[in-house]
Amino acid sequence: MNFGKISAVYCASSEVELEEIPSEGNTRQSLLKGLKALASLDACEKRRQECIAELINTEEAYVADMAIVKEVFEKPLRQNAVLTEYECHEIFVNWDELHHCNDKLLRALRVRKTRSNHGIISTVGDIMCENFPNMTQYIRYCACQLRACEILHRKKEENSEFEAVHRICVTDARSKGMPLSSFLLKPTQRITRYPLLLKNILKNTPIGHPDRLYLEEALEKAEELCSQVEFWFAIYPDFGWETSGQADIYFTHFA
């Protein structure tokens, strides 16, 4: 597959704009119309809409988790001086860049949903095609992940001050009782889930549907990205880089 191949996609409809906040009465009316519209769909289209909803809902949960890492873990660990700048870079790698590209994707999906006909989304593949090229940042993050986990584990084992602050972070209700190590795994889990999410939508999108070609291309891009992630994750230790900073120099051409 050629990951560099980018076809001409209709981008205007996925522009990110501020959404209007509907009144309570309008919200209820829209909900009723949406339910009526959903009831009128055939079984295949209902399933397709459910799969699109799964893509959007899981993206919302993922982006929220990325924000939690910044607010609940990274900031307190920095403010309490239990992590050096070097250690922060080694553990979080390019977290800000990942958060930015997925926040952009989520905003585009929300706008598409807002502009849809009573919540029935006609196309979503074009948005995914437009955003996957921005996700090459995941190659660097996933390649450095094992090293990041090793450093985090060593800090918890050898530094009681770090462990004490980390324990407080875990008790924050927003973390849902999960340690930082669990959150650091989420980018790899998310990027490898996109092919399955797209396959489910594609399976319920008939030939000739306006979303069909977009979805096929989006799936190709998602699978190619996962292949690159898996490749670099496997061979990264063979390079003998002592810091993720050394790796950064090499991975700049993926940005």
| CATH number where 136 lies | 1.20.900.10
Q: Which domain holds residue 185?
A: 41-254
The pLDDT, as a whole number, for residue 119 is 86
pLDDT at 213 over 60: yes
pLDDT at 29 over 80: no
Within-domain flag for 203? yes
110 found inside a domain: yes
59 inside domain:
yes
Average pLDDT over residues 39-61: 94
Identify whether 195 is part of a domain.
yes
Maximum C-alpha span of the chain: 61
Number of domains in the chain: 1
Asked whether residue 101 is domain-assigned, the answer is yes
Q: Is residue 168 part of a domain?
A: yes
Does residue 25 lie within any of the structural domains? no
pTM for the model stands at 0.80
Is 161 domain-assigned?
yes
